[in-house]
Structure 1
C-alpha cells in the first residue's frame, strides 16, 4: 500500500482513538495531573534540600518532568495495545482492507496528540512556580519538538511490548515498572554527584539526553555543564534525536510485524 494509503488509514484509527480518549476523561485527567503533582511535591518538599549547580531546582525540575512525561509513552502504548489485542479490537482491524502499519500508527499518533495537549498545563504550572524558558519561543518550540518525537518513539516501543504481553494485567504490571526509568536519569537530579557506575547508567539513559536537551533549548542548561559527561549528555540535542530515531527504527517494523501476525 502507498504512503498515502497508510496515512489515510492511520488517520481513521487516530480518530477512533481520540473518540475513545474523549469517553475516558478520568484517565486523561490522571495522566495530566500526575506530573503537576510531582512538580509541586518535588519542587516544594525537596526543592530547598537539593542543590543544583548554576540553577534553581524548579528550573532544573520542569524540563526533567517534561522528559519523564515523554518517556511515559512506553507505559501508555503498552497498555493500550494490550487492551485492544486481548479484547478483540486488533482482530477486527486485521479483517479490514487497510494497511497493517496504520493501526499502530493511528494509536501512537493519538497518544502524541493527547500528550501535546497534556503538556500545556504542566508548562503553565511550571511558569507559575518560577520556571522560565530563557531560550525564547524558538527554543521552547524546539524543546517541544524533541519531547514529542521522543514520546512518539516510546509509544511505538510500548505498542510492540503491549502486543507481546500475554494479557492486560501483565501489560499493566510491566508498564507500572517503567516509573523507575526517570529515577535512573538526570530528570530529577544532576548526575555529577552519583557514583561512577550509576552516573554512566544515568547518562546513557535516553531520558537524560532528552531532559538535558530540553534544558539547553529552554536556556536552563547551567546545571548540565559537567566535565566528562557521556556523549548523549554532552551533546544533548543530537543525543535526544539520535535515541528517538534508533527507537523508531527498531520498534516501528517490530510493532507492525507483530500486529500483522496476530495473537496475544
Structure 2
C-alpha cells in the first residue's frame, strides 16, 4: 500500500510567499472559471445597478434638487459607483458560504496548499469582478451624461477610493460568511447592506433630511467615499459644514482602513477555526 506524502510549507520566507501567491492565484482562476460557466448570473449582477441608475436618473431625477445647483445625474453617478461596491458583499457572502456548506473549503484545507490561498484567492477574484463592475457603471454614466472634470489623475484617485471601499467590505462579507455559513442567509446580509446604502448621501443631500438623520448620513462610511469621489470627479455635491463633510477624503481612507483592521484578521482567525 502506498501512502501519499504531504509536503509542508517551504522553509524559506521568500519561497513561502511565492507558494501562497501561486496557490491563491489558482483559487482565483477557479472562481473566475465558475463565473465563466454562469454568464447569465454575472450579466444580471452587472445590469442591476444600471437599472437603478436609469430609474433614479430619469424617473425620479426631475424631482430632485441639489443644494448649489447642478445636474442630478452627475450628482447621482459617484453614489451609484459606491453602491455597486457595497452590493458586492452579497456576492462574496454567497460564494464563501456555499463553498463551506458543500465541503469545498474543508477539501481545500486538507490539501498541501498555502493556508491563506482560499481567502486571498476569493478576494482577488471578487476585486477583479469589482473592477469590471465599476468599468461598466462608468460606461453607463458616460452614456447618461456623467463626466469627470478634474483630469484623469483625479478620476483614477476617485476610482481607487471606491475600490478601497470594496476591498474593505469584501472582508466583511468573508467574515459574515464564515460566521453564518449558510447561503440562504443572504437575505439577512441584505438587511445589513441596504440600510448602509440608502442611509447615505447617494440619492439625496443630508441638508434635505431631519437634523439627526442628516448627521447619521454624514458619518456613514459610504457617504465619505461618495463625497470624496464627487469632489475628485468634479461632480455636484452637497458640501456641508460638519467635520465629516469637510474631511470627506480623509474619512474615505480612514473608514475602509478601520474596517480592514477589524475584519481581515477576524476572517483569517475564523477560517483557521472552521474545523475545530
Aligned equivalents of 1:223, 1:168: Cα separation in 2: 38
In the alignment, the residues of structure 1 paired with residue 165 and residue 116 of structure 2 have an alpha-carbon distance, to the nearest angstrom, of 19
* Residue 25 of structure 1: aligned partner: 39
**Structure 1 match to 2:257:** 245
Q: How much does 1:105 deviate?
A: 1.2
Q: 2:66–2:238: 8 Å Cα contact kept in structure 1?
A: no
Tell me what 2:169 maps to: 154
* 1:208 corresponds to: 223
Counterpart secondary structure, 1:48:
helix
Match of 1:145 among 150, 160, 165: 160
Cα distance in 1 between the residues matched to 2:177 and 2:275? 11
Contact 1:36-1:125 within 8 A present in 2 as well: yes
How many Å apart are 1:49 and its aligned residue? 0.2
**Contact preservation (8 Å) 2:98, 2:181:** no
Question: Is contact 1:73–1:152 with CA below 8 Å preserved after alignment?
Answer: no
Equivalences for 1:166-205 in 2 at 5 Å? Answer: 166-170=181-185, 172-177=186-191, 178-205=193-220
Distance of 1:4 and 1:204 partners within structure 2: 40
TM-score by length of 1: 0.93
1:118 equivalent in structure 2: 133
Tell whether the 8 Å contact from 1:79 to 1:175 is kept in structure 2 after alignment.
no
Helix, strand or coil: the match of 1:223? Answer: coil
Q: Unaligned stretches of 5+ in structure 1?
A: none
> After alignment, is 13-22 or 56-65 more displaced?
13-22
Per-residue CA deviation, residues 139-197 of structure 1 (Å, 9 max, x unaligned), is: 11111111111111111110110111142212x11222212321000111111121121
Shift of 1:101: 2.2
Deviations 1:189-212 (A, max 9, x none): 111121121112211111101111
Q: Over residues 86-136 of structure 1, what are the superposed CA-to-partner deviations in whole Å (9 max), with x where a residue is unaligned?
A: 111110111122232221111111011011112222211211211110112
CA contact (8 A) 2:158 2:232 kept: yes
Deviates more, 1:57-66 or 1:73-82: 73-82
For residues 76-87 of structure 1, the aligned pairs below 5 Å read 76-87=91-102
Secondary structure at 2:203's aligned position in 1?
coil
Length, aligned pairs only: 260
Shift of the alpha carbon at 1:263?
A: 4.9
Pair 1:89 & 2:104 matched: yes
2:12 paired residue number = none
Please give the alpha-carbon distance, in whole angstroms, between the structure 2 residues aligned to 1:150 and 1:5: 28
When Rg is computed on C-alpha atoms for both structures, the one with the higher figure is: 2
Distance 2:18 2:255 in 1: 27
Contact 1:6 1:99 in 2 (8 A): yes
1:51 Cα deviation from its structure 2 partner: 0.3
Alignment map for 1:35-74 (pairs within 5 Å): 35-53=49-67, 54-74=69-89
- Cα 1:144–1:81 change in 2 (3 A) is same
